[in-house]
Amino acid sequence: MRVVVVGASGNVGTALLRRLVDDGTVTSVVGVARRVPPGTPPAPYSVASWVGCDVTDPGAVDTLTAAFAGADAVVQLAWAIQPSHDRRRLHDVNVAGTRRVLDAARRAGVPHVVVASSVGAYSPAPDDVPRGEGWATDGVRSSSYSVDKASVERVLDETEDANPDLVIARLRPALVFQRSAGHEISRYFLGPWVPKRAVDGYLSVLPWPQGLRLQVVHADDVAEAFREAVVRRVRGPFNVAAPDVLRGQDLADVVSRGRLLEVPPAQARAAVTVGWHARAVPVGPGWLDMALSAPLLDTSRAERELDWRPTRSGIDTVRELVGGIAAGAGTASPPLRPRRR
């Protein structure tokens, strides 16, 4: 198979390329990125031939159409979280950029597209009952990330209706972590004022909004789900998450030697809002709103139709990420660059 991965240099893209090294089914890989790895890249980036393309450029559809020629599948991973204050830029990358990828796939005659959606596309859930893929995908209106993920779901619906021969799969993972994304995630979510080395078990206390619970999944497990979706040529949505549900004490045991301070959600939101407007916190309060209201994911469909099982627990994935943040871990990819010593 010939597979093109758009956004191949990012967190999930890196893990997917790592999975496709020496893959007997996927024998040709093209990586598309706004910033391609420089020079002759090391593994896993060496598995791909690279095409530079910013999905917001006026000529992006033409560039992508040429890159997609002869592809059996396109995987769409391109997404922007920063700059969080530039709403127009985020929408142009995330929503309009996905539409350009789909337009190029249609023009190139690609039969199958696999798109990275998210738990963030889902509407709020009132409880901790795991929800399947039928749960509404109207998003959380105060979160720009969630709004864009929900908008992409509508773009996919429209594309399917207009192009019934194009098979579209959409994977909806929980938070995706790995060690080598440590510095990227600290830049995107923690900012310059959090002492990175201190998060590895030496914080004096972990402030935690009351009621917040999380699911995460290791990037390698997400990559396996994407690989299976590609080679099985599946259609429709698939939830992807590790089974354990993480709460404040679970995280405190990792980052602050068990010391936890639960705070009211309104107080936590006010603090994040002030910090974001002051440009001291990289992401806005919508992220907290989304985290507090997102449903837990039922992954039965992925287990049944992709034969997918996570190989790592959520808490082990968090431990790995925390070590990566403390070490400033990264790769040869520009988005995943390590922290300068």
Q: Chain-wide mean pLDDT for the chain?
A: 96
Identify whether 108 is part of a domain: yes
Identify whether 234 is part of a domain: yes
Give the total number of structural domains in the chain.
1
Residue 66 belongs to domain spanning: 2-179+216-241+295-310
Identify whether 211 is part of a domain: no
Identify whether 339 is part of a domain: no
What's the whole-number mean pLDDT along residues 194-203?
76
The Cα 328–Cα 166 span in angstroms is 41
The Cα 256–Cα 21 span in angstroms is 37
Give the per-residue pLDDT at 229: 98
Identify whether 266 is part of a domain: no
Predicted confidence (pLDDT) per residue in 76-100, tens digit: 999 999 999 999 999 999 999 999 9
Identify whether 272 is part of a domain: no
Quick check: 326 pLDDT over 80? yes
SS3 168: strand
Query: 200 falls in which pLDDT band (50, 70, 90)?
Result: confident
Predicted confidence (pLDDT) per residue in 171-184, tens digit: 999 999 999 999 99
Identify whether 61 is part of a domain: yes
Predicted confidence (pLDDT) per residue in 24-72, tens digit: 999 999 999 999 998 889 999 999 999 999 999 999 999 999 999 999 9
Query: 341 falls in which pLDDT band (50, 70, 90)?
Result: low
Torsions phi, psi for 194 (to 5 deg):
-85, 125
Give the per-residue pLDDT at 14: 98
Q: What is the CATH number of the domain that holds 235?
A: 3.40.50.720
Predicted confidence (pLDDT) per residue in 119-153, tens digit: 999 999 999 999 999 999 999 999 999 999 999 99
Identify whether 326 is part of a domain: no
3-state secondary structure 32-92: EECCCCCCCCCCCHHHCEEEECCCCCCCHHHHHHHHHCCCCEEEECCCCCCCCCCHHHHHH
Quick check: 195 pLDDT over 80? no
